[in-house]
C-alpha cells in the first residue's frame, strides 16, 4: 500500500499535559528532532481526555500507579534527565494557568517551547508550584524577559481560553486520550517512547 501522506511534514503538533512527566521527559528529544529535521513544533496544551478513555493518574488502580513510578525511574536513568519521583506539588491543583500561559506566549510570538520546558522543569526538578501565579510570573521573567504581569493577564482572556477549548475539542475529535500525543500529518503517536516513529514519519516512513 502506498503512503498517501506527503513525505515531508512541516510541523509536529504536540498535544500534552504540561504537568505530564512523560511530556517533560520527551521534550529534549522532541526539540532535537524539530531542529535536525527542520520542522516546527506546534504546542497544544490539553488535559487528559477522559471521554476517549484517558484516566488521571490518581484514579488508576494502585498497581498501575506503582508501575508508573517504576517506568519513570527507568526512563529518567535511560535518558539521563533529572526528575523528582515525588514532586511536592504534583498532582497540580490546576494546570490551566500554566497551560494558558504557554498558549498566550505563543499567540504573542514568544518562545513558547522554552517557556513550557521551564514550567515543566519547575515542577519536576525544582519542586515549584506551577499552579501559583507568582511562580509562573518568575518563570516568565527569567525565560522570556518580558512583562510577566501583562502576559499573565493576557493568559486569562477569552482569546486564550478559546484556544485552550479548541485544543481540547480537537484532541477529542482526533481520538487522543493521553499525553503527550504527537500528531504528524493525520497520524497519532502516543507517548515520548514513540518519538523515533515520529521522526520516521517525517521522512515519509511508517
pLDDT at 3: 32
pLDDT of residue 175: 95
H or E stretch including 121?
helix 112-124
In-domain check, residue 1: no
Please identify every residue annotated as catalytic: 20
Instruction: Work out whether strand 11-16 and strand 40-45 pair parallel, antiparallel, or are unpaired.
Output: parallel
Query: Each residue of 40-57: pLDDT tens digit?
Result: 999 999 998 888 777 777
Q: Answer yes or no: is 173 within a domain.
A: yes
Low-confidence ranges of the chain (pLDDT < 70): 1-8, 205-206
In a domain, 4, yes or no: no
Cell of 158: 477569552
Plot region of 157 (φ>0 → left; ψ -120 to 50 → alpha; else → beta): beta
Percent of the chain whose pLDDT exceeds 70: 95
Confirm whether 114 is domain-assigned.
yes
Q: Which domain holds residue 158?
A: 11-202
In this prediction the pTM is 0.91
| Kind and range of the H or E run holding 134 | helix 133-143
Q: What is the pLDDT of residue 205?
A: 60
CATH number of residue 83's parent domain: 3.40.30.10
Which among 109, 92, 98 is positioned nearest to 136, based on CA atoms? 98
Rounded to whole angstroms, how far apart are CA atoms 116 and 189? 20
In a domain, 145, yes or no: yes
Per-residue pLDDT at 103? 98
Domain count within the chain: 1
pLDDT of residue 57: 73
Give the pLDDT of residue 206: 52
Residue-level pLDDT at 4: 36
Amino acid at each position: 500500500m502506498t503512503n498517501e501522506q506527503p513525505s515531508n511534514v512541516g510541523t509536529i503538533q504536540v498535544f500534552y499535559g504540561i504537568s505530564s512527566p512523560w511530556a517533560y521527559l520527551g521534550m529534549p528529544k522532541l526539540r532535537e528532532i524539530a531542529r535536525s529535521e527542520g520542522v516546527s513544533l506546534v504546542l497544544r496544551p490539553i488535559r487528559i481526555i477522559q471521554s476517549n478513555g484517558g484516566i488521571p493518574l490518581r484514579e488508576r488502580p494502585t498497581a498501575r500507579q506503582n508501575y508508573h513510578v517504576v517506568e519513570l525511574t527507568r526512563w529518567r536513568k535511560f535518558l539521563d534527565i533529572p526528575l523528582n519521583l515525588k514532586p511536592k506539588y504534583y498532582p497540580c491543583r490546576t494546570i490551566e494557568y500554566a497551560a494558558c500561559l504557554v498558549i498566550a506566549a505563543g499567540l504573542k510570538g514568544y518562545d513558547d517551547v522554552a517557556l513550557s520546558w521551564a514550567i515543566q522543569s519547575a515542577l519536576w526538578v525544582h519542586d515549584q508550584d506551577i499552579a501559583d501565579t507568582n511562580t509562573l510570573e518568575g518563570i516568565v521573567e527569567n525565560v522570556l524577559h518580558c512583562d510577566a504581569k501583562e502576559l499573565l493577564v493576557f493568559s486569562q482572556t477569552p482569546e486564550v481560553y478559546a484556544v485552550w477549548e479548541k485544543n481540547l475539542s480537537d484532541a477529542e475529535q482526533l481520538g487522543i486520550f493521553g499525553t503527550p500525543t504527537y500528531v504528524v500529518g493525520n497520524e497519532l503517536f502516543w507517548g515520548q517512547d514513540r518519538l523515533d516513529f515520529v521522526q520516521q514519519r517525517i521522512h515519509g516512513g511508517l
